[in-house]
Amino acid sequence: MEGSLNSLALLVNYIFVPGFAYGSQLALGALGVTMIYAVLNFSNFSHGEIMSFGAMITILVTYWFQGLGISVHPLPTALIALPVGIGGAILLCLLLDRLVFSFYRQQRANSVTYLIVSIGVMFVIGGITRFIIGPDDRNFNDGERFVLKARTFKEMTGLSEGVAIKSSQAITVASAFIVVAAVFWFLSRTRTGKSMRAYSNNPDLALLSGIDPNRVVFLAWVITAGLAAIAGTLYGLDKSYKPLVFLHLVLPIFAAAIVGGVGSPLGAIVGGFVIAFSELFITFAYKKVAAYLLGDGVLGDGLLQLLSTDYKFAVSFIILVVVLLIKPTGIFSGKSI
Amino acid sequence: MSFLFEKYYQIRLGLKRLPDLLRNSLLAAIMACLLAIVGFSQSWNLAFSLLNMCLISAIMALGVNIQWGYAGLFNAGIMGFAALGGLAAVLISVDPVKAAWAAGGQGLLFGFSIGVLTIYSVRFVWKRLSYSGSKRYSITILILVVGLATMRFFTDPATLAIEAVDAAKSGYLGGLGMPIMFSWIVGGLLAAGVAWVIGKISLGLRSDYLAIATLGISEIIIYFLKFEDWLTRGVKNVNGLPRPVPYEINLQNEAWFQQVTSTLDVSVVDASSLIVKACYTGIFLAVLLAVIWFSETALRAPWGRMMRAIRDNEIAATAMGKNVQKQHLQVFVLGSAVIGIAGAMLVTLDGQFTPTSYQPLRFTFLIWVMVIIGGSGNNWGAVLGGFVIWFFWIEAEPVGLWLITFLTSGMEPTNWLRLHLIQNAAHTRLITMGLVLLLTLRFAPRGLIPEAKR
């Protein structure tokens, strides 16, 4: 009995807790990608850099607040700086749309042109971000480190394996839940949200029914920018902020969006968790779990690991490729908000 | 302001009316002048190393142009193919490590045959059970897990044994010990083989899915090269690859060389490294010309006409009886082979294989900028794009630094803003590249040398 409880604690500590946090971050990112895809019909490669930009502004404001002595102690200061970061990301996105993307919308450019344009945008925003904040690693989490410490858990339950929950993980999951619920409520309950869904489903018909396309596009950018800034900040809080990371984060985010079904918000959420959990499940070494369940060394002394942890990121790409192979439309097939 | 725009349009119109040849030679001459300016103002050594990298970039851009310009395929996996070329350079030129082969060669080969067997049985089962619902997934996953576990049961001890053999110096299987120039061909073939597999998987997809899939696969390739130490030494890098050209130190020791340099009154060290670089330039130029000749001939042949027809209207081409998917696969493989050749040349030039140096920004997106700015669909455009973009990618840093130092020269030397700007000046090149790409796409989407109307 205790053996199975211990192995459960191991799985919770090394797979479920980090999986939920990372999955929420991916889900928020993928939701932004999917939103742009559903409304503007292109894959926005610059999304990672928008996340980075929003997080950067949050960090700068955090430093400023820290200088002023404002804090919300057990919680990190970044949470009260986040609204400014969101505002900055929204301004950036609206500016981008006005200066860059609206031109191609009028031209009804094809999706590859959009893709290349978004790569150009990615270069520019990435350069600006690194120019302002520099390429270094930054840790700006000044809140309490743990919600549940491994030792406290061990003392509470008497198990030999501990479960630790970092406060950044708890904050990530909680705020992702709130944000996702808000977005879904907006899309399904409000008139404006419904008009967005209608536009994504059939732009011409929506135009005919009196929906203003400019307003829909405006809202799509606002929501995307907000999601991006939140996702970027949460990722930075949880791991640490480094501008270079976001270029590589784009791929798992796209993987999440595609696995769930590009254009489907529910799919983006599910996809995020699928990617996060499979990364952890496939690269986790089950040696200790097996030892608790079956006794030491029954299954040999290998690590019992499907793929070594080096390939953690590669797993998301492998899943992406497999999904593209067997079901290119993703789990929740189809494009519509 | 409006005056400037008027002027700009006049110049643009004028450019259009110039005969193509004149315009092209003008652009080429400007490029040559830029390189010459670097030669006079900085150093000829730098100018030649720039030129060599320009040549390699041009070949890579040609490969991408074959895929994008001829057939409209968006390949975002350039980095992976270039790295495979680099891998070929290692596998061909390095001497085999016999002790490592003895330690783990057998286990590795046995493990891999199990891996191959697993993949074939998965394919077989997947096809066989196509109508049996969830059973299909569970059985496939079961075979995959069991197969992978068995494979690793054999390969893990073997790789550990290989990596333990003289870990500081080798710790990998080594190569075949053949001349490194041979690896350029092998690099092309290796990239072509992988491209065939990738193409089979992803060419049926929507164009932007293709981009994401190839981007993902190229990342997987890089991860493989980075972490499979038994094959590539991973992050420990492979240094000191043999060269197809003489070594500087040997040249400096030759009596005739010392004589020539003393009569010309130049430094022996500078002259020797210049000569080595010029040798590389000669070889690279020959390869570039060969690739251009092949692709231009192909473009003019009925094959090229067919590719353009497919690119411009797939449905019409299908109606004419062309097998679009097959042709796409063919052109994808060809273009990737060219990228693989360039990748092998790059590693040859560097003399070392560094898996961590493969970054999507530098190897995928930058090459894309080259093709688009040069003029997609035009081989000469791709070459020019390769030259221009590589030149600015390298020179944007010193020029940006100079510009920022100049602009902030009014401030105090210890002003934090000035220090910050100077410290981060390197990142201006990212902004410059992005802006150049965006401006080209907006105002001259056909590039510097547009595709010729035929």
Chain B residue closest in CA terms to A124? B431
Determine the Cα–Cα distance for residues B66 and B73; give it in Å rounded to an integer: 9
Q: List b or e across B415-441, with b for residues whose CB sees 16 or more CB atoms inside 10 angstroms.
A: eeebeebeebbbbbbbbbbbebbbebb
Residue B75 φ/ψ region, left for φ over 0, alpha for ψ in the -120 to 50 degree band, beta for the rest:
beta
On whether any CB of chain B is under 8 Å from the CB of A321, the answer is yes
Opening angle at CA A112, ends A111 and A114, nearest 5:
65
Q: pLDDT over 90 for what percent of chain A?
A: 42
pLDDT for residue A185: 94
Q: Which of A321, A323, A326 to mutate to test the interface with B (most CBs of B within 10 A)?
A: A321
The distance of A313 to chain B (nearest Cα, Å) reads: 9
- Cβ pair A250, A48 in contact under 8 A: yes
Q: Which residues contact B430 (CB under 8 A, 6 or more apart)?
A: A123, A124, A126, A127, A130, B361
On whether any CB of chain B is under 8 Å from the CB of A257, the answer is no
Q: Which residues in chain A have Cβ-Cβ distances shorter than 8 Å to B201?
A: 321, 324-325
Question: Is B216 within 8 Å of A117 when comparing Cβ atoms?
Answer: no
pTM of the full predicted structure? Answer: 0.88
Residue A110 φ/ψ region, left for φ over 0, alpha for ψ in the -120 to 50 degree band, beta for the rest:
beta
Alpha helices in B94-181 (DSSP H): 98-100, 106-128, 134-164
Determine the Cα–Cα distance for residues A307 and A319; give it in Å rounded to an integer: 13
pLDDT tens digits along A181-195: 999 999 999 999 999
On whether any CB of chain B is under 8 Å from the CB of A275, the answer is no
Q: How confident is the model at residue A335 (pLDDT cuts 50, 70, 90)?
A: low
Q: Which residues contact A192 (CB under 8 A, 6 or more apart)?
A: A186, A215, A219
Q: Which of A302, A254, A251, A306 is nearest to A282 (CA)?
A: A306
Chain A residue closest in CA terms to B218? A317
CATH number of B19-96+174-443: 1.10.3470
Q: Which of B276, B270, B287, B286 is nearest to B245 (CA)?
A: B276
Cross-strand partners of B374: none
Where in chain A does DSSP place strands (E)? 146-148, 165-166
Q: Which of A101, A111, A112 to mutate to test the interface with B (most CBs of B within 10 A)?
A: A112
Q: Which residues in chain B have Cβ-Cβ distances shorter than 8 Å to A299?
A: none
pLDDT tens digits along B327-372: 999 999 999 999 999 999 999 999 999 998 998 888 998 999 999 9
The distance of A50 to chain B (nearest Cα, Å) reads: 15
- Cβ pair B256, B372 in contact under 8 A: no
Q: How far is CA B294 from the centre of its chain?
A: 19
Determine the Cα–Cα distance for residues B435 and B130; give it in Å rounded to an integer: 49
Q: Which residues in chain B have Cβ-Cβ distances shorter than 8 Å to A313?
A: 219, 223
Question: Is B216 within 8 Å of A313 when comparing Cβ atoms?
Answer: no
Backbone angles phi, psi at B272, to 5 degrees: -65, -45
The distance of B180 to chain A (nearest Cα, Å) reads: 30
The distance of B423 to chain A (nearest Cα, Å) reads: 8
pLDDT tens digits along B137-165: 888 888 888 888 888 888 888 888 888 87
What is the domain partition of chain A in residue ranges? 2-326
Between B240 and B194, name the one with better pLDDT: B194
Q: Which of B198, B209, B212 to mutate to test the interface with A (most CBs of A within 10 A)?
A: B212
Which one of B216, B365, B438 has the shortest CB-CB distance to A321? B216
pLDDT tens digits along B404-426: 888 877 777 777 777 777 777 77
The tokens describing B152, both together, are 């690793």
pLDDT for residue A334: 58
Count of residues for chain B?
Answer: 454
The domain defined by A2-326 folds into: ABC transporter involved in vitamin B12 uptake, BtuC (1.10.3470)
Average pLDDT over residues B314-336: 91
**pLDDT, averaged across chain A:** 87
Count of residues for chain A?
Answer: 337
pLDDT for residue B14: 61
Least confident of A28-37, B201-210, B266-275: B201-210
pLDDT tens digits along A221-279: 999 999 999 999 999 998 889 888 888 888 889 989 988 888 888 889 999 999 999 88
Question: Is B431 within 8 Å of A113 when comparing Cβ atoms?
Answer: no
pLDDT for residue A336: 46
Average pLDDT over residues A124-135: 89
Question: Is B427 within 8 Å of A130 when comparing Cβ atoms?
Answer: yes
On whether any CB of chain B is under 8 Å from the CB of A314, the answer is yes
Please name the residues between 55 and 94 in chain A that touch chain B, using a CB distance below 8 Å: none
Q: Which residues contact B344 (CB under 8 A, 6 or more apart)?
A: B85, B86, B88, B89, B183, B184, B186, B187, B188
Backbone angles phi, psi at A62, to 5 degrees: -60, -45
Q: Which residues in chain B have Cβ-Cβ distances shorter than 8 Å to A123?
A: 365, 430-431, 433-434, 437
Between A183 and A283, name the one with better pLDDT: A183
Q: How many CB atoms lie within 10 A of CB B40?
A: 9
Q: List b or e across B309-343, with b for residues whose CB sees 16 or more CB atoms inside 10 angstroms.
A: bbbeebeebeeeebebeebbbbbbbbbbbbbbbbb
pLDDT tens digits along B42-58: 888 889 999 999 999 99
Is residue B429's pLDDT more than 50? yes
What is the distance in angstroms between the CA of the first residue and the CA of the last residue of chain A? 46
Is residue A302's pLDDT more than 90? no
Q: Which residues in chain A have Cβ-Cβ distances shorter than 8 Å to B226?
A: 310
The distance of A1 to chain B (nearest Cα, Å) reads: 28
Q: Which of B134, B359, B438, B442 to mutate to test the interface with A (most CBs of A within 10 A)?
A: B438
pLDDT tens digits along B56-109: 999 999 999 999 988 889 999 999 999 999 999 999 998 888 888 888 888 888
